[in-house]
């Protein structure tokens, strides 16, 4: 195929977790470099497997385009320094310039450059600049890379594009190889379709998504044949697709002696440590089989291979079984004294102190019991071996030792939500404890001056704030006032004698949470100025659900005719009104009916809006605002700056009153347009 460039870097196995991002970076690098070089192309297609990073440039031009540009320079009588600078920027001498209309002009010409002459340096630049989380060096290659590179293939329009790659001590060719174990020898590449087809014959599926689809289809079918359901795990699927160029899914068996272990223990042992897939029965219980992906076609239907995989899993689960049965013999409460010797943070005391704060920060009796026990699993044998299970094991042990189910759920879920895609607690006790845990974290680190700056957030305080917002919003905690909770958390640190930064105040934490809320609402499509108008209002309050509802209602209102009119009117009034001065409305100075009408409607705003805000009745609140449209429009038909100074001052006072009353709802000065 003509007008096509294929570039392949063949290496040792690239870590699976780095592959998808690398393919994206590779694509962007080619797009940017080609554009910068002036080479046109139709599209860039990239692929990655465990052993190769590939780019195919479709529709690549045979050369750059020759250009002519007439560039105007300084005036003929300009200082010599200006002329010297112009000459330097153009690369010309003065005798090559043309004088016209009193200015110097330069004719800049670029000749066409063949694509074959551009690509070698371009490819070498991409190799040098491609970033990996970790890289290594090997003998004979001065350039470090993710893994040792064994071959470079470069084919332009069906022909070898041969060039040295000193970074790896290699020279590019038009040949490559297939699967490391399932094929042998090399083959010549002529075009991309032939390249992909030949790789498939040689047991390499080039497309990462196709490998994922192949694995998923096979595992689902094999599980269904045994009456079980594959538990979907997209993250694991993506990872194992990066472990094999020709994935071969097979099923193994879990020894029945381990099937009494909690699902989370089995899942962690299989998913996290062994990269095995979990199956469940129709009741949602873990099935006694697991799925794995081999990198070769087993010669005996996988019998020998499975024996090894099952032996490794048995050893892992034997340890888990021992830890589980050992931990069950010790009550969670008996672990509490050990927490007093474990430092939570050098400036924030021990885990034991943290538990005492959490107990006092929650209110219900079940939440207090959950708070008392929620950190005990950190010193159990199971969590010591499997840190991923903290929280989960505490919940399992609590219920097994006779605690109420909602107590166990709260302990299990008190770290959640740990991210935007994590499950959010939804039962009252779990919500209460999860909220307390995140507030204690935020307040503590803010109190010692550990506030996130820029991209640095070592204690994940932004995540904690977003977790608080999700807990409140997804559970519609409409009656929750946040500032008293923050102040209470602050007081508990003070009660324990923990040193607090002099400049700290609970309002700082609340403002930080509001900042996170602003980002979240903008991502949901609400206008940034509407968000700022409500949050900046002196009447904003500390009820997150109410703030969100008010922003949403105002956002809708401002899109209506009445809203557009009021926004324009406010801007006009704000521009007319002097920045300083005291304004008092005197009804006896009204000499037009529209003044009385506007004053009446503004008094209505004053009398009704506060009540609507307290009841979160935003529909009626916005209607009160809408009722201002006609009287304000009529008022502006008057001459505001009346010749009579008393009338003029009184009309300005009405404008001041309008600004003051509307500020009950939002700070309209923050609105744009």
- What pLDDT does residue 11 have? 96
- What pLDDT does residue 568 have? 83
Distances 232 to 17, 219, 276, 512 between C-alpha atoms, Å: 18, 10, 12, 36
Whether the CB-CB separation of 622 and 629 falls below 8 Å is answered with no
Tokens 């219900």 correspond to what residue? 364
- What pLDDT does residue 214 have? 96
Selection from 72-76, 335-339, 632-636 with the highest mean pLDDT: 335-339
- Under the banding of pLDDT at 50, 70 and 90, the label for residue 492 is very high
- What pLDDT does residue 630 have? 86
- CA dist 315 and 292 (Å) reads 17
How many CB atoms sit inside 10 A of residue 419's CB?
Answer: 11
- Under the banding of pLDDT at 50, 70 and 90, the label for residue 65 is confident
Does the pLDDT at position 195 exceed 60? Answer: yes
- Under the banding of pLDDT at 50, 70 and 90, the label for residue 398 is very high
pLDDT digits (tens, 9 = 90+) for 264-298: 999 998 988 789 999 999 988 999 999 999 988 88
Q: Tell whether the torsion through CA atoms of 209, 214, 217 and 219 is positive or negative.
A: negative
635: part of which helix (H) or strand (E)?
helix 629-635
How many CB atoms sit inside 10 A of residue 301's CB?
Answer: 9
Q: Is the peptide bond before 215 cis (omega within 30 degrees of 0)?
A: no
Q: Using a pLDDT cut of 90, give the percent of the chain over it.
A: 69
pLDDT digits (tens, 9 = 90+) for 352-378: 999 999 999 999 999 999 999 999 999
Top-confidence residue, 624 or 513: 513
Distances 448 to 319, 416, 596 between C-alpha atoms, Å: 41, 24, 55
Tokens 């996170």 correspond to what residue? 516
Q: What is the mean pLDDT of residues 68-86?
A: 87
- Under the banding of pLDDT at 50, 70 and 90, the label for residue 23 is very high
DSSP letters for 53-102: EEEEEET--SBPPPEEEEEEEEETTS-HHHHHHHHHHHT--GGG-EEETT
Least confident of 61-75, 122-136, 254-268, 308-322: 61-75
- CA dist 196 and 210 (Å) reads 12
The domain 546-670: what is its CATH number? 1.10.730
Does the pLDDT at position 171 exceed 60? Answer: yes
- CA dist 666 and 19 (Å) reads 48
pLDDT digits (tens, 9 = 90+) for 209-249: 999 999 999 999 999 999 999 998 999 999 999 999 999 99
- What pLDDT does residue 302 have? 77
Residue 344 DSSP symbol: E
Least confident of 83-97, 308-322, 467-481: 83-97
Q: pTM here?
A: 0.81
Instruction: Return mean pLDDT, the chain.
Output: 92
- What pLDDT does residue 673 have? 65
pLDDT digits (tens, 9 = 90+) for 152-165: 999 999 999 999 99
pLDDT digits (tens, 9 = 90+) for 583-620: 899 999 998 899 999 999 888 887 888 788 888 888 88
């Amino acid at each position: 195929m003509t007008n096509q460039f294929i570039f392949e870097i063949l290496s040792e196995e690239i870590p699976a977790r780095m592959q998808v991002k690398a393919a994206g970076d590779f694509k962007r690098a080619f797009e940017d470099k080609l554009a910068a070089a002036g080479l046109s192309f139709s599209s860039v297609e990239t692929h990655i497997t465990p052993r190769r990073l590939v780019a195919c440039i479709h529709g690549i031009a045979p050369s750059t385009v020759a250009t002519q540009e007439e560039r105007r320079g300084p005036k003929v009588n300009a200082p010599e320094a200006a002329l010297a600078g112009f000459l330097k920027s153009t690369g010309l001498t003065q005798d090559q310039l043309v004088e016209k209309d009193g200015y110097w002009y330069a004719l800049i010409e670029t000749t066409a450059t063949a694509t074959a002459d551009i690509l070698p340096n371009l490819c070498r630049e991409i190799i040098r600049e491609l970033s990996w989380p970790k890289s290594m060096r090997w003998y004979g290659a001065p350039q470090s890379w993710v893994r040792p590179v064994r071959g470079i293939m470069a084919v332009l329009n069906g022909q070898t594009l041969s060039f040295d790659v000193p970074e790896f001590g290699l020279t590019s060719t038009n040949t490559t190889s297939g699967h490391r174990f399932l094929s042998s020898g090399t083959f010549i590449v002529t075009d991309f379709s032939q390249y992909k087809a030949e790789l498939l014959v040689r047991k390499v599926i080039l497309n990462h998504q196709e490998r994922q689809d192949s694995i998923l289809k096979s595992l689902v079918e094999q599980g269904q044949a045994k009456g079980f359901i594959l538990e979907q795990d997209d993250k694991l699927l993506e990872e194992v697709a990066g472990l094999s160029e020709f994935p071969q899914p097979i099923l193994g068996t879990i020894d029945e002696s381990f099937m009494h272990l909690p699902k989370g223990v089995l899942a962690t042992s299989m998913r996290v440590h062994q990269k095995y897939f979990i199956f469940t029965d129709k009741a949602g219980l873990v099935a006694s089989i697991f799925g794995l992906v081999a990198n070769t076609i087993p010669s005996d239907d996988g019998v020998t291979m499975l024996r090894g995989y099952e032996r490794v899993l048995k050893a892992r689960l034997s340890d888990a079984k021992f830890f589980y049965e050992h931990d069950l013999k010790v009550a969670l409460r008996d672990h509490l004294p050990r927490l007093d010797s474990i430092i939570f943070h050098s400036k924030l005391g021990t885990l034991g102190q943290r538990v005492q704060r959490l107990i006092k920060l929650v209110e219900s009796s079940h939440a207090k019991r959950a708070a008392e026990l929620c950190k005990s699993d950190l010193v159990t044998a199971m969590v010591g071996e499997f840190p991923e299970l903290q929280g989960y094991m505490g919940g399992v042990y609590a219920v097994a030792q006779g605690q109420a189910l909602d107590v166990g759920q709260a302990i299990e879920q008190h770290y959640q939500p740990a991210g935007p895609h994590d499950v959010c607690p939804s039962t009252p006790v779990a919500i209460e404890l999860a909220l307390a845990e995140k507030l204690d974290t935020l307040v503590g680190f803010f109190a010692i001056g550990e506030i996130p700056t820029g991209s640095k957030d070592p204690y994940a305080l932004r995540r904690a704030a977003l977790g608080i917002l999700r807990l409140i919003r997804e559970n519609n905690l409409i009656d929750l006032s946040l500032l008293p909770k923050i102040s209470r958390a602050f007081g508990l640190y003070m009660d324990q004698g923990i040193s607090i930064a002099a400049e700290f105040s609970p309002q700082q934490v609340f403002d930080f949470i509001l900042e996170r809320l602003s980002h979240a609402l903008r991502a949901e499509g609400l206008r940034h100025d509407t968000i700022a108008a409500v949050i900046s209002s002196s009447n904003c309050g500390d009820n997150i659900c109410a703030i969100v509802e008010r922003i949403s209602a105002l956002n809708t209102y401002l899109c209506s005719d009445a809203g557009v009119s009021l926004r324009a009117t406010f801007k006009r009034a704000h521009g007319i009104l002097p920045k300083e001065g005291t304004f008092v409305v005197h009804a006896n100075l009204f000499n037009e009916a529209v003044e009385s009408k506007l004053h009446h409607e503004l008094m209505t705003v004053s009398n009704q809006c506060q009540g609507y805000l307290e009841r979160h009745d935003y529909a009626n609140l916005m209607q009160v605002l809408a009722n201002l449209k006609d009287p304000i429009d009529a008022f502006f038909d008057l001459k505001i700056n009346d010749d009579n100074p008393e009338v003029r001052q009184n009309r300005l006072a009405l404008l001041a009153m309008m600004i003051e009353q509307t500020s009950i709802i939002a700070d309209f000065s923050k609105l744009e347009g």
